[in-house]
Amino acid sequence: MDMFSKKKQEIDEEYLKKGVSKVKDGDVEIAAENQEEIEDKIVNAGALRKYTELGKLMFGMLKDYRSGVYSNIPWFTIASVVFALLYVLNPLDLMPDFIPGLGYIDDFAILTVTLRFIETDLHKYLDWKLEEQ
């Protein structure tokens, strides 16, 4: 990894950590209420399309967390998922989505960093989900 990429990754991680620290319980509800709109945006934005299945998995985890069916998960993971999904929903984030060719780069970066942080918990959730079937 070159020096620029490493610095960018550190900045993205710090931005995510700051955002996650501000997530409240009510934000979980907001993300859940906007699931369809967020999923549509991920599916229809070329740069984000690779996150379609992971987005569904994150929403499943949020749903199971909210219902109390799955609680073996740290708040940091839930807050990270909520922050990333609400960030994708916001069209006027760091790089406004209406900018052709560039508008989804920051959304992609936030999703990528989030997945790096929560990968282990996402795998644990998926294993649990598969055992439940």
pLDDT band, residue 94 (cuts 50/70/90)? low
Q: Which residues contact 122 (CB under 8 A, 6 or more apart)?
A: 54, 57, 58, 61, 77, 115
Say if CB 39 and CB 51 are below 8 A apart: no
Q: Is residue 104 part of a domain?
A: yes
Quote the tokens at residue 95: 């790089």
CA quadruple 42, 129, 122, 84: dihedral positive or negative? Answer: positive
Q: Is residue 10 part of a domain?
A: no
Please state the pTM of the whole predicted model. Answer: 0.84
**Domains held by the chain: number:** 1
Q: Which domain holds residue 69?
A: 16-132
CA quadruple 8, 14, 16, 19: dihedral positive or negative? Answer: negative
Q: Is residue 58 part of a domain?
A: yes
Would the pLDDT of 83 be above 70? yes
